[in-house]
Structure 1
Amino acid sequence: MLRDYLMSAAIFSLFSFIWFGWAQETLTGKWRLPVAIISVLAALTAGYCGYLSYRYWHSATMLMTQSNYRWYLIFVVIEFILAGGGALLLYKRQRSANIAPWISLVIGSHFIVLEFIFRDPSLYILAGLMISISLYTLLHRMPAKSVLVGVSNGVILLSFAIYNLSRFWLY
């Protein structure tokens, strides 16, 4: 649906911007400029899609039904509890390098559930990509997990934002 395409494009590009920001936590010098440039592209895409979302706010959405909206809110609350609780536990156990991959795993997993609400099979692909990156970084020792997770998720989410924006224009 039109509004769902626009809102997901706005949200995905906004979170792409955020993941690129997180990647800069331990980013090496030669990667700072390319990540900064793509981060600005993500922010501009978020602004543009946010503007379009506002213009098409009264278009149909899968969240119009009471049960879909209720389940959406339930899953978002559960996601925040799992992500925040896990991050706190990792921090207390002095494993903060795993916070970015953990949060990525929770967010990636929530796209599987959201497919049932939005009936968009592309969310399975998005989930699979984010979960794969998360599990890889959780299971391997590396010095800059937040860089790999942040840049990967930034690229993945920006790609899906552009994909959904193109679906809006082709609708």
Structure 2
Amino acid sequence: MLRDYLMSAAIFSLFSFVWFGWAQETLAQKWRWPVAIASGIAFLIACYSGYLSYHHWHQASALTNQLNYYGYLIFVVVELILAGGGAFLLSKKQQSANIAPWISLVVGSHFIALQFVFRDPSFYILAALMIGISIYTLCRRMAAKSALVGVGNGIILLSFAIYNLSRFWLY
């Protein structure tokens, strides 16, 4: 649905911007400019998609259905509890390097559930990519986990934002 494509583009690009920012925590100096440019592109797409969303707000949406809307809210609340609770426990256990991959794992997993709300099979691909990066990073001993997860998720989410924006224009 048009509004859902635009909102997905806005949300995915905004969170792409956030993941690129988190990557800066442990990012190698030579990657700072390319990631900063990608972050800027994500921010611009978020603003543009948000503007278009505002102007198409009264278009149909999967969230118009009350059951879908409540399902969406439940998935988001559960995601926040799992992500925050896991981050808190990892911090307490002196495992803060694993917080970014943990959050990525939770966020990636929530796209599986959201596919049932939005009926968009591309969410399975998005979930698989984010979960894959999360598991790969959790299994590696490295100092720059937030850089790998941040850049990886930034690219993935920016790609899906562009994909959804193109779906809007081709609809």
- Shorter chain as denominator, the TM-score bin is over 0.9
1:139 CA displacement: 1.0
Counterpart of 2:2 in structure 1: which amino acid? L
SS in structure 1 of the partner of residue 141 of structure 2: coil
1:119 CA displacement: 0.3
**Structure 1: which 4+ aligned runs deviate by more than 2 Å?**
none
Identity %: 76
1:13-64 C-alpha deviation (Å, 9 max, x unpaired): 0000000000000111111011000100000000000000000000000000
CA RMSD in angstroms comes to 0.4
Return 5+ residue gaps in structure 1 as ranges: none
Q: How does 1:128-167 map to 2 (within 5 A)?
A: 128-167=128-167
Counterpart of 1:118 in structure 2: which amino acid? F
Counterpart of 2:147 in structure 1: which amino acid? V
1:28 aligns with 2:28: yes
Specify the alignment match of 1:108 in structure 2. Answer: 108
Specify the alignment match of 2:66 in structure 1. Answer: 66
Specify the alignment match of 2:3 in structure 1. Answer: 3
Return 5+ residue gaps in structure 2 as ranges: none
1:82-103 C-alpha deviation (Å, 9 max, x unpaired): 0000000000000000000000
Counterpart of 1:94 in structure 2: which amino acid? Q
Counterpart of 1:155 in structure 2: which amino acid? I
1:157 CA displacement: 0.1
Specify the alignment match of 1:169 in structure 2. Answer: 169
Moved more, 25-34 or 80-89: 25-34
Counterpart of 2:94 in structure 1: which amino acid? Q
Specify the alignment match of 1:51 in structure 2. Answer: 51
Q: Please give the TM-score of this superposition, normalised by the length of structure 1.
A: 0.99
Q: How does 1:71-110 map to 2 (within 5 A)?
A: 71-110=71-110
What CA distance in whole angstroms lies between the structure 1 residues aligned with 2:165 and 2:24? 27
1:140 CA displacement: 1.1
Counterpart of 1:126 in structure 2: which amino acid? L
What CA distance in whole angstroms lies between the structure 1 residues aligned with 2:130 and 2:64? 28
Specify the alignment match of 2:17 in structure 1. Answer: 17
